[in-house]
Structure 1
Amino acid sequence: MADKAAQGPLSGIRVIDLTSVVFGPYATQIMADMGAEVIKVEPPAGDNTRWITAGPAPGMGGIYVNVNRGKRGVMLDLRQDGDRETLRRLIATADVFIHSMRGSAIAKLGFGYEAVRALRPDIVYTNCYGYSRRGPESDKPAYDDTIQAECGIPHVQGLMNGEPGYVATIMADKVAGLHALYATMMALFHRERTGGRGKGEGQEVEVTMFEAMSSFMLVEHANGAMFSPPTTPAHYHRAVEHNRRPYRTSDGYVAALVYNDKHWSAFMAAIGPSWASEEFSTLEKRAQQIGRVYELLGETFLTRTTQEWLDILGALHIPCARLQSTDALFDNAQLNAIGFFEEVETPQGQVRMPGVPTWFSATPGKVRGPAPMLGQDNQTVLAELESVAPAMVSESK
C-alpha cells in the first residue's frame, strides 16, 4: 500500500507528450502528478509558454513551470531523420501518444495514428485540436481567445455587462485539457478491459477546444433553445443578469447566494427587510424576476459590513465568501490546512506549486518534480532507449 501511495494511480504508464502551450500540457501535467512517466518532446525553439510569463531563469516562465512539472524533457528536431527515428523508438515503449499539432502537420511528419499504431498496436493516441477533423474548420488554428469568442462567452458576458468581453482566465485551454485527460484515461481503461498492455485494444482519441467548450457552455445556456420549437433564447437568464455580481457592503464586498426557498426563508426571518413579501416567496417567483431580486438584495447588503454579513450568513448556512485576490490563495487557510501547496526544489530555487486537487486513499497523486529545462533529459532517455528499444529501420529505407 505504501508503495502504491508513493507511485500514484498511473504508475507504470508512459506518455509521449508532443503538446504545447496549455491545452495538452495541462492534461499531461495531471497524468504526471498521478504517477505517469511523461516525456515531453519539444522542438529546438521550445514550448512557447517558456517565454510568455516571468520566471527565475530564461525559458522557465511561470505557466510553463506549472503545467510541465514532473515531466522529463527531450528536445527533438522532427525535421531531421535521426530525431524522427528517436521518436519512433520512444513510441514503441509508450502507452500514450498525445499531440497538439494540426492534423496535416503531424501526418506530414509521419506520426499520424496509423503510423504510430504500426509501432505500438495497443497505444492510446490522443489528438488535441482546435476543431474536429470531421468538420469544415478541421485545420483552422485556435487559441483561447478565439474559442471563447466562437463558443459564446463574450456574448453572454455582454448580456451581463453591456459589452462583450472575455473571462479573465484561459478557460478554453483548461476545460479542453480536462477533456483530453478523461478521454485518454477512458481509452486506457478500455485497453485494460480488453487485455491490458500488449494485448488490449488501443485506439485513436480526438479532443477539440471548440467542441469541448460548446458542450461546456451549453450545459446551462442551451436552456429552452434545446426544445422544438425553442421556448427561450440560448442563455440562462440568472447567469447573465447584470445585477448578478458580488454585493457591495458598507466597507467592501461579499459574495452570497440567497437562492433556494430554505435559504430565502431563513434570510427573510433573520433580516426582515421592508420589501419582503409574498411576491418573492418561492424560487419560481424569484426566478421570473431575478433582476429585481438581485437589486433589492444589493440595497440590503449595503447596510452592514462584510464581516457582519459573513457572520449572519454563516450562521444561517447560506453560501457566502469574502472576495479574495488570486494572490490571497497562497495564504488561504483551507488550502494550507490540507497541504495543497507543495514546495519543489528546482535548479532555479524553491517553487511553491499549486498541488493536486483530488484525493485518493490508496494511491494519492503529488507534484513529482520540477519542469524540465529544454532538452535536459536527452542523454538519459536516449541511453535508456538503447537497452529497451532497438534501433528501427530508418525512413530512408
Structure 2
Amino acid sequence: MNPPGPLDGLRVVESTSFVAGPLAGMTLAQMGAEVIRLDPVGGPADAGRWPLDRRGRSLFWAGLNKGVRSVALDFRTPEGQELASALVTAPGAGGGLFVDNTIGRDFFSYEALSRRRPDLVHVHIQGHPDGRPAMDYAVNPLYGVPMLTRHVDIERPVNHVLPAWDIATGLLAVSGLLAGLQRRHADGSGSRIDLALADVAAAHVAHLGWLAEAADRGRDRPRLGNHMFGAFGVDFPCADDRRVIAVAITRQQWRDLVRLTDNVAVFDALAASTGADFDVEGERFEHRALIEAVLAPWFARRTAAEVLEAARGTRVMVGEFRSPKEVVDAYRRGEESPVLTEVEHAGGAMLTATLPLRWGGAYVEPRPAPTLGADTEWALGELLGLTDRQIGGLTERGVITRPFNPTNGNR
C-alpha cells in the first residue's frame, strides 16, 4: 500500500489516447493525484493497439493507463457531453484540472469549460500548433532525426521506434498542468495551455544545437552509424558474438578506457605522431576511426560478460546490447532494477514499470489499468450527486455503459 503521494488531494480529468496524454495521466496518478479518464462508451481509439497479449488484449493500453479511473460516456449525445463537462468542472479546490488531446469536441474546449469554472487549468495536446493531427513517427522525420540515425552504408533513413517526442510531450503536459495549478494558487486564475507534438520535436532538436549547427556550417552532419557525435563512443563485437558499446566523454573516463584496454603506450605514441590531444573530447571524436581500430582487438578477445566485469570499478561507461526478451530473462533472475515490476492484467500478471521517481528512496507500487467504465457509477454519484435511479436511466438510454474490457469487447 502506497503512502499519500505528493499530489494527493488533486483530481485530474483526462480524455486522451495513444502515448502523450495517457502518459501524462498515469504520471500524475503515480504521484498521488486522482486521475479520471473520460472514455467513449465503445472504448478509446487505442484500446486495441499493439502489442497484444496472447488473448488479444492490448498491453500498450494496459501499460500506459495504470492507476487511473475510467468513466465511459456516449460523447455523441447531449447528455453524455453535459456529464463530461460537469465532471471536468466539478467543484473542489483540487479539481478543475483537465488534460485532453481531442479533436472536434467543442464541449471540451477551454472556452466552453472555463465558462463553467473560470479557474480551470486545461492542457490541450495537439499534433501541430495549427490544429492538424500528427503522431510521433510522422513528426520525427520533419526535423532531421532519421537522417542522423541511419548507418553510414545505408541511404534509406531510419525512423527510430521509440516515440521520444510523445514521451517528452506527455511529461511537458504534466509540467504545464502543475505550473498552471501553481499560478491558480498564486492569483486564482485559470490557464489555457496548448502543447503541440510537432513543437516539442522542433524545440528539442533546436535546444540540442543540431539546427544551429546546420545553419552555421551550411551543410548536414555526416552519417556516423553508432559513433557518438562530438566524443568517443562506439559499439564493439566481442568474442561471443555479442556487442557492447563503450563511451568515454570525460578525460578521466578516457584515461580509464585506455588503461582498461592496456593501450597507454599506444596512445602516447599516437599522440606524439599525430599531434592529437586525446584528453580533449572533440579530438577523440575527430580521431574516432583510429581509436576504434586500436581498441577493437581488446574487445574481440573477450566475451561481453568479461568486458562488463573488467569495466566494473572504472569510470568507463559500457553497455551490452540486449533484446527485450533478454531484459525479461534478467528480470526473472532478479537482476533488474525494481522500477520493473508486475501488475494484475486480465486475470494474470503483466510485466511493466512503476514511476522512476523515488520518494524517500522508495518506488511507488503501481496499480493496474482500469476496466473501461469501471468508475462511471462512482463518479456520477460521488462527484455529481446523481441518484441510483438517475444512473439507471442513463444506462437504459445508452449514455453510460457497464464496465467491460475495451481490448476484446467482453462485458
* TM-score where L is the length of structure 1: 0.82
Assess, with a 3 A threshold, how the Cα gap between structure 1 residues 38 and 335 changes in structure 2: closer, same or farther. Answer: farther
Instruction: Tell me by how many angstroms 1:166 deviates.
Output: 1.1
* Aligned residue runs from structure 1 range 24-63, under 5 A: 24-53=21-50, 54-55=52-53, 60-63=57-60
Alignment TM-score, normalising by the size of structure 2: 0.80
Deviation, 1:119, is: 1.4
Identify which of 128, 134, 143 aligns with 1:151. Answer: 143
Superposed displacement of residue 64, structure 1: 0.3
Change (3 A) 1:176 1:296: farther
Matching of residues 1-397 of structure 1 within 5 Å: 6-53=3-50, 54-55=52-53, 60-93=57-90, 94-102=95-103, 105-107=104-106, 110-132=107-129, 138-158=130-150, 160=152, 162=154, 163-194=156-187, 200-222=188-210, 224-225=212-213, 230-231=216-217, 233=219, 235=221, 241=227, 245-251=234-240, 252-273=242-263, 275-276=266-267, 277-278=270-271, 279=274, 280=276, 281-283=278-280, 284-330=282-328, 331-332=330-331, 339-346=338-345, 348-361=347-360, 365-367=364-366, 369-387=367-385
In structure 2, how many angstroms separate the alpha carbons of the residues matched to 1:343 and 1:270?
A: 38
Q: 2:396 corresponds to which residue?
A: none
Q: Is the 8 A contact 1:17 1:97 kept in 2?
A: yes
Matched residue SS, 1:7: coil
Tell me the secondary structure at the aligned position of residue 374 of structure 1: coil
Contact 1:8 1:363 in 2 (8 A): no
Report the CA distance shift for 1:238/1:373 in structure 2 as closer, same or farther (over 3 A): same
CA distance in 2, matches of 1:240, 1:343: 33
Cα separation, partners in 2 of 1:275 and 1:233, compared to 1, 3 Å:
farther
The 1:386/1:318 distance shift into structure 2, 3 A limit, reads: closer
Question: What code does the residue aligned with 2:213 have?
Answer: A
Going from structure 1 to structure 2, the CA distance change for 1:298 and 1:32 (only over 3 Å counts) comes to same
Distance 2:84 2:220 in 1: 46
Amino acid at match of 2:237: R
**Distance of 1:272 and 1:362 partners within structure 2:** 39
Contact 1:344 1:352 in 2 (8 A): yes
Bigger relative contact order, structure 1 or 2 (CA pairs below 8 A, ≥6 apart) = 1
Residue 39 of structure 1 aligns to a residue whose secondary structure is: strand
Q: Which moved more, 1:273-282 or 1:34-43?
A: 273-282
Q: Go from structure 1 to structure 2 and tell me whether the alpha carbon gap of 1:235 and 1:46 turns closer, same or farther (over 3 Å shift).
A: farther
2:233–2:245 contact (8 Å) kept in structure 1: no
Structure 1 residues 345 and 191, CA gap change in structure 2 (3 angstroms): same
Contact in 2 for aligned 1:17/1:40 (Cα 8 Å): yes
Please tell me whether the aligned partners of residues 7 and 363 of structure 1 are also in contact (alpha carbons under 8 angstroms): no
Given that 2:339 and 2:363 are in contact with CA atoms closer than 8 Å, whether structure 1 keeps it comes out as no
Q: CA RMSD in A?
A: 3.1
Code of the residue aligned with 1:381 in structure 2: it is A
SS at structure 1 position matched to 2:307: helix
- What is the CA-CA distance between 1:71 and the residue it aligns to? 1.1
Aligned positions, number: 369
Give 1:224 shift: 4.7
CA distance in 2, matches of 1:207, 1:44: 27
| Aligned residue type for 1:193 | A
The answer for unaligned runs of 5 or more in structure 2 is 391-411
Residue 112 of structure 2 aligns to a residue whose secondary structure is helix
Q: Is the 8 A contact 1:91 1:119 kept in 2?
A: no
Give CA deviations for 1:136-180 in whole Å, capped at 9, x if unaligned.
Answer: xx1322122101111222111236563301112222221211111
CA–CA distance in 2 between the matches of 1:363 and 1:240?
35
Structure 1 residue ranges without an equivalent (≥5):
133-137, 195-199, 392-397
Q: Would the aligned equivalents of 1:68 and 1:371 in 2 still touch at CA under 8 Å?
A: yes
Q: How far 1:321 moved relative to its partner?
A: 2.2
Q: Counterparts of 1:363 and 1:339 in 2: how far apart (Å)?
A: 10
